[in-house]
Amino acid sequence: MKQTFEPFPEAMWLTAVQVATVWTNPESARTIDVSGTGNPTDIDDWIAGLTYETNLALCDENRVQTQLLYGEPVLIIATQGDWAHVVIPSQPSSKDTRGYPGWVPLNQLTKVKKKNWISDTTAVIMDDKVWLENEVGERQMKLSFMTLLPIEEIVGDRVQVKTPHGKRYLPRNQVNIFPSKIGMEQGSGRDIVQSAAAFIGLDYFWGGMSAFGYDCSGLAYAAYKANGYKIARDAGDQATKGKAVAYDHLQLGDLLFFAYEEGKGALHHVGIYADEGKMIHAPQTGKGVERLTIKGTIYEKERCAVRRYVS
Protein backbone atom coordinates (compact mmCIF):
# COMPACT_ATOMS: atom_id res chain seq x y z
CA MET A 1 0.00 0.00 0.00
CA LYS A 2 1.33 3.41 -0.89
CA GLN A 3 0.18 6.85 0.10
CA THR A 4 -1.25 8.93 -2.69
CA PHE A 5 -1.76 12.66 -2.43
CA GLU A 6 -3.42 13.12 -5.81
CA PRO A 7 -6.93 13.73 -4.34
CA PHE A 8 -5.68 16.61 -2.21
CA PRO A 9 -5.39 20.31 -3.10
CA GLU A 10 -2.14 22.23 -2.63
CA ALA A 11 -3.36 23.38 0.78
CA MET A 12 -4.32 20.13 2.47
CA TRP A 13 -5.70 19.22 5.91
CA LEU A 14 -4.01 16.78 8.29
CA THR A 15 -5.07 15.10 11.51
CA ALA A 16 -3.29 17.02 14.29
CA VAL A 17 -4.01 14.76 17.30
CA GLN A 18 -2.84 11.24 18.20
CA VAL A 19 -6.23 9.81 17.19
CA ALA A 20 -9.19 11.82 15.87
CA THR A 21 -12.55 10.13 16.19
CA VAL A 22 -14.86 10.62 13.21
CA TRP A 23 -18.40 11.22 14.43
CA THR A 24 -21.74 10.66 12.70
CA ASN A 25 -22.67 14.34 13.12
CA PRO A 26 -21.59 17.31 15.28
CA GLU A 27 -24.21 16.41 17.90
CA SER A 28 -22.84 12.88 18.37
CA ALA A 29 -20.03 13.77 20.79
CA ARG A 30 -20.98 13.95 24.48
CA THR A 31 -19.55 15.84 27.42
CA ILE A 32 -17.92 12.60 28.60
CA ASP A 33 -16.02 12.43 25.29
CA VAL A 34 -14.02 15.63 25.87
CA SER A 35 -10.68 13.77 26.18
CA GLY A 36 -11.31 12.44 22.68
CA THR A 37 -12.58 15.64 21.05
CA GLY A 38 -10.07 18.22 22.23
CA ASN A 39 -6.55 19.07 21.13
CA PRO A 40 -4.46 17.44 22.42
CA THR A 41 -6.41 14.25 22.93
CA ASP A 42 -5.84 11.72 25.69
CA ILE A 43 -7.30 8.54 24.24
CA ASP A 44 -6.18 6.43 27.19
CA ASP A 45 -8.04 8.74 29.57
CA TRP A 46 -11.13 8.89 27.37
CA ILE A 47 -11.53 5.13 27.04
CA ALA A 48 -10.73 4.52 30.71
CA GLY A 49 -13.46 6.98 31.69
CA LEU A 50 -16.21 5.26 29.70
CA THR A 51 -18.50 2.78 31.41
CA TYR A 52 -19.70 -0.29 29.55
CA GLU A 53 -22.98 1.53 28.83
CA THR A 54 -21.44 4.78 27.57
CA ASN A 55 -18.95 2.79 25.49
CA LEU A 56 -21.70 0.63 23.97
CA ALA A 57 -23.72 3.77 23.16
CA LEU A 58 -21.04 4.81 20.65
CA CYS A 59 -22.37 1.93 18.53
CA ASP A 60 -25.99 1.51 19.61
CA GLU A 61 -26.74 5.21 19.27
CA ASN A 62 -24.78 5.48 15.99
CA ARG A 63 -22.40 8.11 17.32
CA VAL A 64 -19.01 7.04 15.89
CA GLN A 65 -18.06 6.14 12.32
CA THR A 66 -14.28 5.59 12.24
CA GLN A 67 -11.02 7.17 13.39
CA LEU A 68 -7.99 8.98 11.96
CA LEU A 69 -4.35 8.65 12.96
CA TYR A 70 -1.90 11.52 13.49
CA GLY A 71 -0.87 13.03 10.15
CA GLU A 72 -3.61 11.24 8.18
CA PRO A 73 -4.91 13.64 5.49
CA VAL A 74 -8.58 14.42 4.90
CA LEU A 75 -10.69 16.40 2.48
CA ILE A 76 -12.97 18.97 4.11
CA ILE A 77 -16.23 19.16 2.18
CA ALA A 78 -18.17 21.42 4.56
CA THR A 79 -17.97 23.07 7.96
CA GLN A 80 -20.58 23.65 10.63
CA GLY A 81 -19.52 25.79 13.56
CA ASP A 82 -16.50 24.14 15.17
CA TRP A 83 -16.86 20.97 13.11
CA ALA A 84 -15.61 19.80 9.72
CA HIS A 85 -17.43 17.35 7.45
CA VAL A 86 -14.61 15.28 5.97
CA VAL A 87 -13.94 12.35 3.67
CA ILE A 88 -10.91 10.10 4.19
CA PRO A 89 -9.33 8.88 0.93
CA SER A 90 -7.09 6.39 2.79
CA GLN A 91 -10.19 4.55 4.07
CA PRO A 92 -12.22 3.28 1.07
CA SER A 93 -15.98 3.14 1.60
CA SER A 94 -19.16 2.59 -0.38
CA LYS A 95 -20.61 5.51 1.60
CA ASP A 96 -18.62 7.97 -0.56
CA THR A 97 -16.42 7.21 -3.56
CA ARG A 98 -13.90 9.81 -2.33
CA GLY A 99 -13.34 8.04 1.00
CA TYR A 100 -14.94 7.42 4.36
CA PRO A 101 -17.22 10.32 5.44
CA GLY A 102 -17.93 11.81 8.86
CA TRP A 103 -17.47 14.77 11.17
CA VAL A 104 -14.32 15.83 13.03
CA PRO A 105 -13.73 18.77 15.41
CA LEU A 106 -11.94 21.50 13.43
CA ASN A 107 -9.45 21.93 16.26
CA GLN A 108 -8.14 18.42 15.53
CA LEU A 109 -7.12 19.36 11.97
CA THR A 110 -4.38 21.61 10.64
CA LYS A 111 -3.59 22.92 7.14
CA VAL A 112 -0.22 22.42 5.43
CA LYS A 113 1.16 22.90 1.93
CA LYS A 114 1.15 19.58 0.11
CA LYS A 115 4.56 20.19 -1.46
CA ASN A 116 6.06 20.71 2.00
CA TRP A 117 4.50 17.55 3.40
CA ILE A 118 5.51 15.00 0.78
CA SER A 119 8.87 13.23 1.18
CA ASP A 120 10.73 10.54 -0.73
CA THR A 121 10.51 8.16 2.23
CA THR A 122 7.89 7.50 4.88
CA ALA A 123 8.12 6.12 8.42
CA VAL A 124 5.34 3.89 9.72
CA ILE A 125 5.05 2.93 13.38
CA MET A 126 5.24 -0.85 13.72
CA ASP A 127 5.06 -1.17 17.51
CA ASP A 128 1.85 -1.04 19.53
CA LYS A 129 2.42 2.57 20.60
CA VAL A 130 5.45 4.85 20.27
CA TRP A 131 6.27 8.22 21.78
CA LEU A 132 6.91 11.11 19.40
CA GLU A 133 9.81 13.16 20.76
CA ASN A 134 11.19 16.65 20.32
CA GLU A 135 14.81 17.38 19.45
CA VAL A 136 16.10 16.93 23.02
CA GLY A 137 14.23 13.66 23.51
CA GLU A 138 11.25 14.91 25.51
CA ARG A 139 8.07 12.90 24.97
CA GLN A 140 5.43 14.87 23.06
CA MET A 141 2.65 12.49 22.03
CA LYS A 142 1.87 8.77 22.25
CA LEU A 143 1.22 7.55 18.70
CA SER A 144 -0.49 4.39 17.46
CA PHE A 145 0.61 1.46 15.37
CA MET A 146 0.29 2.29 11.66
CA THR A 147 0.77 6.04 12.05
CA LEU A 148 2.57 7.22 8.90
CA LEU A 149 4.78 10.33 8.79
CA PRO A 150 7.08 11.64 6.02
CA ILE A 151 10.80 11.48 6.77
CA GLU A 152 13.06 14.51 6.86
CA GLU A 153 16.27 12.61 7.63
CA ILE A 154 17.70 9.78 9.71
CA VAL A 155 19.76 11.04 12.64
CA GLY A 156 21.65 8.26 14.42
CA ASP A 157 19.15 5.99 16.17
CA ARG A 158 16.25 8.38 15.54
CA VAL A 159 14.20 9.35 12.51
CA GLN A 160 13.37 13.02 12.03
CA VAL A 161 9.83 13.21 10.65
CA LYS A 162 7.52 15.93 9.43
CA THR A 163 4.45 16.33 11.60
CA PRO A 164 1.48 18.72 11.87
CA HIS A 165 3.51 20.33 14.70
CA GLY A 166 6.78 20.66 12.80
CA LYS A 167 9.85 18.46 12.90
CA ARG A 168 9.81 15.72 15.53
CA TYR A 169 11.59 12.40 16.14
CA LEU A 170 10.74 8.70 16.32
CA PRO A 171 12.99 5.81 17.48
CA ARG A 172 14.58 4.17 14.45
CA ASN A 173 14.03 0.66 15.81
CA GLN A 174 10.26 1.14 16.21
CA VAL A 175 9.40 2.19 12.67
CA ASN A 176 9.53 0.73 9.18
CA ILE A 177 10.89 2.96 6.42
CA PHE A 178 9.66 2.63 2.85
CA PRO A 179 9.80 4.60 -0.44
CA SER A 180 6.73 6.84 -0.50
CA LYS A 181 6.01 6.33 -4.23
CA ILE A 182 6.34 2.53 -4.07
CA GLY A 183 4.69 1.87 -0.72
CA MET A 184 5.17 -0.86 1.86
CA GLU A 185 6.22 -4.32 0.74
CA GLN A 186 3.30 -6.73 0.68
CA GLY A 187 3.39 -9.45 3.31
CA SER A 188 2.01 -12.98 3.36
CA GLY A 189 -1.15 -14.31 4.98
CA ARG A 190 0.99 -15.47 7.90
CA ASP A 191 2.34 -11.93 8.28
CA ILE A 192 -1.21 -10.57 8.42
CA VAL A 193 -2.14 -13.06 11.15
CA GLN A 194 0.95 -12.09 13.15
CA SER A 195 0.08 -8.39 12.86
CA ALA A 196 -3.41 -9.04 14.22
CA ALA A 197 -2.17 -11.42 16.93
CA ALA A 198 -0.05 -8.63 18.43
CA PHE A 199 -3.31 -7.09 19.71
CA ILE A 200 -4.79 -10.14 21.44
CA GLY A 201 -6.24 -8.90 24.71
CA LEU A 202 -6.78 -5.31 23.54
CA ASP A 203 -10.28 -4.10 24.43
CA TYR A 204 -12.77 -3.73 21.59
CA PHE A 205 -13.70 -0.15 20.69
CA TRP A 206 -16.52 0.68 18.29
CA GLY A 207 -15.17 2.59 15.27
CA GLY A 208 -11.65 1.97 16.57
CA MET A 209 -8.78 2.27 14.10
CA SER A 210 -5.84 2.48 16.47
CA ALA A 211 -3.82 0.49 18.97
CA PHE A 212 -5.89 2.19 21.69
CA GLY A 213 -8.81 0.00 20.56
CA TYR A 214 -10.05 -1.65 17.36
CA ASP A 215 -13.44 -2.80 16.15
CA CYS A 216 -13.66 -5.97 14.03
CA SER A 217 -13.15 -4.38 10.61
CA GLY A 218 -10.67 -1.86 11.99
CA LEU A 219 -8.43 -4.70 13.16
CA ALA A 220 -8.63 -6.34 9.73
CA TYR A 221 -7.90 -3.01 8.01
CA ALA A 222 -4.85 -2.37 10.22
CA ALA A 223 -3.44 -5.89 9.88
CA TYR A 224 -3.65 -5.63 6.11
CA LYS A 225 -2.30 -2.08 6.07
CA ALA A 226 0.71 -3.24 8.09
CA ASN A 227 1.47 -5.66 5.26
CA GLY A 228 1.08 -3.32 2.32
CA TYR A 229 -2.59 -3.86 1.43
CA LYS A 230 -5.28 -1.19 1.22
CA ILE A 231 -8.70 -2.68 1.87
CA ALA A 232 -12.07 -1.10 2.62
CA ARG A 233 -12.70 0.21 6.11
CA ASP A 234 -16.04 -1.55 6.87
CA ALA A 235 -16.76 -5.28 6.95
CA GLY A 236 -19.67 -4.94 4.50
CA ASP A 237 -17.36 -3.42 1.91
CA GLN A 238 -14.48 -5.80 2.69
CA ALA A 239 -16.83 -8.70 1.88
CA THR A 240 -17.46 -7.43 -1.66
CA LYS A 241 -13.82 -7.18 -2.78
CA GLY A 242 -10.93 -9.59 -3.07
CA LYS A 243 -11.42 -13.18 -4.25
CA ALA A 244 -14.26 -15.41 -3.06
CA VAL A 245 -12.94 -18.55 -1.35
CA ALA A 246 -14.63 -21.80 -0.31
CA TYR A 247 -14.52 -22.80 3.37
CA ASP A 248 -12.58 -25.97 2.58
CA HIS A 249 -9.82 -23.94 0.93
CA LEU A 250 -9.03 -21.45 3.70
CA GLN A 251 -5.56 -19.97 3.95
CA LEU A 252 -3.86 -17.87 6.61
CA GLY A 253 -5.01 -14.25 6.47
CA ASP A 254 -8.30 -14.88 4.66
CA LEU A 255 -11.15 -12.70 5.92
CA LEU A 256 -14.14 -14.58 7.35
CA PHE A 257 -17.54 -12.85 7.36
CA PHE A 258 -20.57 -13.52 9.51
CA ALA A 259 -24.25 -12.58 9.20
CA TYR A 260 -27.35 -12.75 11.37
CA GLU A 261 -30.05 -15.38 10.81
CA GLU A 262 -27.46 -18.16 10.52
CA GLY A 263 -25.60 -16.47 7.71
CA LYS A 264 -28.62 -15.42 5.66
CA GLY A 265 -29.29 -12.00 7.24
CA ALA A 266 -27.33 -8.76 7.54
CA LEU A 267 -23.55 -9.08 7.64
CA HIS A 268 -22.25 -7.93 11.03
CA HIS A 269 -18.74 -9.24 11.69
CA VAL A 270 -15.33 -10.07 10.24
CA GLY A 271 -12.42 -12.14 11.52
CA ILE A 272 -8.98 -13.14 10.20
CA TYR A 273 -8.39 -16.84 9.58
CA ALA A 274 -5.51 -18.04 11.75
CA ASP A 275 -5.24 -21.75 10.77
CA GLU A 276 -6.51 -24.93 12.49
CA GLY A 277 -10.10 -23.70 12.50
CA LYS A 278 -9.29 -20.55 14.44
CA MET A 279 -9.71 -16.85 13.76
CA ILE A 280 -8.39 -13.65 15.32
CA HIS A 281 -11.09 -11.05 15.78
CA ALA A 282 -12.30 -8.11 17.86
CA PRO A 283 -15.65 -9.47 19.14
CA GLN A 284 -17.71 -6.69 20.73
CA THR A 285 -17.80 -3.99 23.41
CA GLY A 286 -16.69 -5.42 26.74
CA LYS A 287 -14.44 -8.08 25.22
CA GLY A 288 -10.89 -8.11 23.92
CA VAL A 289 -9.25 -9.21 20.69
CA GLU A 290 -8.98 -13.00 20.81
CA ARG A 291 -7.88 -16.10 18.93
CA LEU A 292 -11.04 -18.22 18.80
CA THR A 293 -11.78 -21.77 17.69
CA ILE A 294 -14.83 -21.28 15.45
CA LYS A 295 -16.33 -24.77 15.75
CA GLY A 296 -19.08 -24.95 18.36
CA THR A 297 -19.60 -21.17 18.56
CA ILE A 298 -22.33 -18.93 17.15
CA TYR A 299 -19.87 -17.95 14.43
CA GLU A 300 -19.93 -21.47 12.99
CA LYS A 301 -23.63 -21.01 12.25
CA GLU A 302 -23.35 -17.41 11.10
CA ARG A 303 -20.51 -17.68 8.58
CA CYS A 304 -21.54 -16.29 5.23
CA ALA A 305 -18.46 -15.52 3.11
CA VAL A 306 -14.69 -15.71 2.79
CA ARG A 307 -12.51 -13.23 0.89
CA ARG A 308 -8.84 -13.45 -0.01
CA TYR A 309 -6.75 -10.35 -0.69
CA VAL A 310 -3.34 -12.05 -0.68
CA SER A 311 -2.34 -13.54 -4.03
**pLDDT by residue (tens digit) across 145-176?**
999 999 999 999 999 999 999 999 999 999 99
What are the CA-CA distances from residue 138 to residues 69, 134, 169 (Å)?
A: 21, 5, 10
User: Nearest CA to 26 among 111, 108, 102?
Assistant: 102
pLDDT-based confidence at residue 3 (cuts at 50, 70, 90): confident
Give the integer Cα–Cα distance in Å for 43 and 18: 8
pLDDT at 2 over 80: no
SS3 call for 197: helix
**pLDDT by residue (tens digit) across 40-58?**
999 999 999 999 999 999 9
* 165 counts as catalytic: no
- Among candidate residues 59, 165, 268, 281, the one labeled active-site is 281
- Which are the contacts of 169, defined by CB distance < 8 A and separation ≥ 6? 132, 133, 134, 135, 137, 155, 158, 159, 160, 161
Give the integer Cα–Cα distance in Å for 58 and 214: 13
- Among candidate residues 85, 249, 269, 304, the one labeled active-site is 269
* 281 counts as catalytic: yes
* 59 counts as catalytic: no
Give the integer Cα–Cα distance in Å for 51 and 33: 12
Task: Give the model's pLDDT for residue 6.
Answer: 87
Can you list the domains of the chain with their CATH numbers? 11-114 (2.30.30.40), 119-179 (2.30.30.40), 189-308 (3.90.1720.10)
- Among candidate residues 216, 249, 268, 304, the one labeled active-site is 216
**pLDDT by residue (tens digit) across 7-17?**
899 999 999 99
**pLDDT by residue (tens digit) across 199-257?**
999 999 999 999 999 999 999 999 999 999 999 999 999 999 999 999 999 999 999 99
Q: With a threshold of 0.95, does the pTM exceed it?
A: yes
**pLDDT by residue (tens digit) across 107-126?**
999 999 999 999 999 999 99
pLDDT at 83 over 90: yes
